[in-house]
Amino acid sequence: MAFIKLTAQSALPATNEAKEFPCGNKTICIANVNGTYSAMDNICLHRGGPLGQGMIEGGKVICPWHGWAWDAKTGVAEQDSRMKVALYPLKIENGEVMIEI
């Protein structure tokens, strides 16, 4: 696996916000929790809501549709610990955000 360019560093979400980015045939949610970025699948496993349109609360990405909370570090759902969204390695190089899908 290799890292590919996702976006420019300047496009990343502000502190304690989430944002969605297209990446090939999927959409990635980037969450900025207290200055730490994490990349995860944008689709909430509960009912398919867009996580990148949600908000950050208590270190978790909150789905805007039904309020499911996903841990930005582990991808695990607060409502059901058996459910987990995929997380992806992220790095910033020369102002570009690189992701490994």
Q: How far apart are CA 53 and CA 92, in angstroms?
A: 22
Architecture in CATH of 3-100: 3-layer Sandwich (2.102)
Residue 33: its H or E element: strand 26-33
What tokens were used for 47?
Answer: 């009912």
Q: What counts of helices (H) and strands (E) characterise the chain? A: 0, 10
Burial, 91: exposed, middle or buried (Cβ in 10 Å; 0-12, 13-18, 19+)? exposed
Q: What is the per-residue pLDDT across 56-88, written as a single tens digit (0 to 9) for each?
A: 999 999 999 999 999 999 999 999 999 999 999
pTM of the model: 0.96
